[in-house]
Structure 1
Amino acid sequence: MSDPRPVLQVQGLTVSYGKVEAVRGIDLELRAGEITTLVGANGAGKSSTLLALSGLVRKAGGRVLFDGQDLTHLAPHRIVASGVVQVAEGRAILSTLTVRENLELGAYTRRDRGERAADMARVHELFPVLAERADGLAGNLSGGEQQMLAIGRALMARPRLLLLDEPSMGLAPIIVQGIFRTLREINRAGLTIFLVEQNVRQALKIAQRAYVIETGRIVLQGSGRELLDNPRVRQAYLGG
């Protein structure tokens, strides 16, 4: 169940690469317990927004507040420690390590073995194939299985806010449907999710709150259903 209070507030966020302004003073608000999505075309500024929230690219301006804590100038590892964890675009698994080792690395900041074992069991429940392939090399997994591993590794950090960058990229439609079902399941268990996604239809179907970004600016916002039915969104992203 969602909570009306904002758990993440983004105020006037700007991201620049040299003289190119990729994100232009945007405001966002994420509510606790909700899935919020940021959708738009390739190059619109979606990934730059997420990388800035994670501290992986420098913010040229603005503030990021998470549950009352100012994350604006924190290093990435401190942002993770605060409870904000990102699943990177392209999955970024460690292909020469086993599936189990990849998952264990997700919990590297946590020392309680019992909690880590419980979290591993939960990840295996969500993604049974990861239990079946636990001792195999992560690089031998299919694309869909690697995405499951990337999500599972993030969950091992016990995030309070999960950031996902293009989880459907390069995956077959049936695999994408399974990934999105899992995202709904972990959200129903209480995890707040911020989803950056080029698959606009799928993203808007599962999101309670949604934003559309074009050339670095937020141009529309509303519920996922409102934007799914919006004529401008349907014309630009859903084929009319």
Structure 2
Amino acid sequence: MMATETTSATPILQVKDLAVSYGHIEAVKGIDLTLNEGEITALVGANGAGKSTALLAISGLLKPQRGQILFDRQDLTSLSPHKIVQSGVVQVAEGRATLTTLSIAENLALGAYTRKDKTNIAKDLDWVYSLFPVLQRRKDGLAGNLSGGEQQMLAIGRALMAKPRVLLLDEPSMGLAPLLVQEIFRIVQEINRTGLTILLVEQNVRQALRIAQRGYVLETGKIVLADSGSNLLNNPKVLEAYLGG
């Protein structure tokens, strides 16, 4: 039985009965998710549980077999990926996917490609540089010369340049040294404090649930637990399965 958190927050993104398959293999098996406006929601689970597949479906990069994705009461389910970005839902892909032969500044400019508000673009660029000073110091250098952690910062910064209302983060701590993991999670919290809604997909269950107001545990394509982040951190099933007892 899944526990649910009583909240007066306003849902901004709802996933209803989402199912996604690769050929005959159903990777996501009819899941329901609710993101409340201004909150961090963590979607956690082991490698292969279906977390990234769910994000790709929300972003329009995979077409679901069934289900519905509603953002601010708008149905995104059949929209193309660029229309979903324009609507305000932006994903930072697993593996960063920075354009390594372009400069840092050019990568960030591409993040704002759907926008025409030049004054606000300049303000957002200043904000991104304040979040990630290393990007400003090296803005004219090639993205390919950045470390893994710096490329993750660039990928997040580029997504922020699209001015999202919902930010989807897919495994932002993957492959990073422990000190950089702490820094990335601190920055995620700082971004959230501006009011931005975040869906955080992570294998790092402890760190994700520590900063999330709400969490979902995904196992083999199904949601098996849903509760506040703090309650899930203390749930015996989560402790046993993901946090070493």
Normalised by the size of structure 1, how large is the TM-score? 0.98
Residue 230 of structure 2 is aligned to residue 225 of structure 1: yes
Q: Residue 124 of structure 1 corresponds to which residue in structure 2?
A: 129
The CA deviation at 1:93 is 0.2
Structure 1 residues 104-155: Cα deviation after superposition (integer angstroms, max 9, x where no partner): 0000011122111111100000000000010000000000000000000000
Structure 1 residues 172-219: Cα deviation after superposition (integer angstroms, max 9, x where no partner): 010010010011011011000000000000000000000000000000
- Whole-angstrom distance in 2 between the partners of 1:57 and 1:72: 10
Q: Residue 14 of structure 2 corresponds to which residue in structure 1?
A: 9
The CA deviation at 1:3 is 6.6
Q: For residue 224 of structure 1, what is the amino acid of its counterpart?
A: G
- Whole-angstrom distance in 2 between the partners of 1:101 and 1:65: 32
The CA deviation at 1:28 is 0.6
Task: Give ranges in structure 2 of 5+ residues lacking alignment.
Answer: 1-6
Q: For residue 78 of structure 2, what is the amino acid of its counterpart?
A: H
1:144-163 pair list within 5 angstroms: 144-163=149-168
- Whole-angstrom distance in 1 between the partners of 2:178 and 2:240: 22
Identity of aligned residues (%): 70
- Whole-angstrom distance in 1 between the partners of 2:140 and 2:38: 34
Q: Residue 198 of structure 2 corresponds to which residue in structure 1?
A: 193
- Whole-angstrom distance in 2 between the partners of 1:62 and 1:131: 42
- Whole-angstrom distance in 1 between the partners of 2:114 and 2:54: 25
1:155-194 pair list within 5 angstroms: 155-194=160-199
The CA deviation at 1:58 is 1.0
Residue 98 of structure 2 is aligned to residue 96 of structure 1: no
Of 76, 79, 88, which residue of structure 2 is paired with 1:71?
A: 76
Q: For residue 22 of structure 2, what is the amino acid of its counterpart?
A: Y
Q: For residue 27 of structure 1, what is the amino acid of its counterpart?
A: D
**Alpha-carbon contact 1:3-1:33 (below 8 Å) kept:** no
Q: Residue 3 of structure 2 corresponds to which residue in structure 1?
A: none
- Whole-angstrom distance in 1 between the partners of 2:28 and 2:76: 18
Q: For residue 124 of structure 1, what is the amino acid of its counterpart?
A: Y
Q: For residue 207 of structure 2, what is the amino acid of its counterpart?
A: Q
Q: For residue 32 of structure 1, what is the amino acid of its counterpart?
A: E
Instruction: Give the secondary-structure state (helix, strand or coil) at the position aligned to 2:62.
Output: coil
Of 10, 20, 25, which residue of structure 1 is paired with 2:25?
A: 20
Q: For residue 88 of structure 2, what is the amino acid of its counterpart?
A: G
Task: Give ranges in structure 1 of 5+ residues lacking alignment.
Answer: none
- Whole-angstrom distance in 2 between the partners of 1:112 and 1:226: 42
Q: Residue 37 of structure 2 corresponds to which residue in structure 1?
A: 32
